[in-house]
Amino acid sequence: MRILTLATISALAFVPGAAAHHGWGSYDSRKVMKFQAVILEIKYENPHAEIVVEHQGKKWTATLAPIFRMRNRGLPEGALAKGKRVTVEGYPSRVNDAELRAERVTVDGKTVELR
């Protein structure tokens, strides 16, 4: 019984991360958005990094790539920082009208493919 309880608790520990991760089907790949903006906030953590920017008077959350991919593609922690101007290109969410899935980011003159 004790082993079953430990196994159940261990399995439940992974549920929030899995629930937070969403499929890419909720983004409209037929509508490409591209704009320049200043980073207002950054979250550099798994399952995906995120930046919040303001574009045309609206705050947008840009969902980036997982941390390992960000590092491997040349965007280590600190490359994106609050106050930096970036160009974001990606697909808007069908669920949240202030979110997009970023396909590429340009910062400090360097364009990084995220997918």
In the block, residue with structure tokens 């947008």:
60
Two tokens at 17? 């991360």
57 closest CA partner among 98, 101, 104: 98
The pLDDT score that the predictor gives to residue 18 is: 40
Low-confidence ranges of the chain (pLDDT < 70): 1-24
Max Cα-Cα span within the chain = 59
Query: Strands (DSSP E) along the chain, which ranges?
Result: 33-43, 50-55, 58-63, 85-92, 99-107, 110-113
Options 2.40.50.140, 3.20.20.370, 2.60.40.1510, 3.30.930.10; CATH for 24-113 is: 2.40.50.140
10 Å CB burial of residue 66 (0-12, 13-18, 19+) is middle
Task: Give percent above pLDDT 90 in the chain.
Answer: 77
The pLDDT score that the predictor gives to residue 23 is: 63
Cα 33 to Cα 10: distance, rounded to the nearest angstrom: 40
pLDDT single digits (tens) 59-75: 999 999 999 999 999 99
The pLDDT score that the predictor gives to residue 1 is: 56
Alpha helix (H) residue ranges in 53-114 = 67-72
Task: Spell out the domain ranges in the chain.
Answer: 24-113
The pLDDT score that the predictor gives to residue 115 is: 86
pLDDT single digits (tens) 99-113: 999 999 999 999 999
Cα 100 to Cα 103: distance, rounded to the nearest angstrom: 9
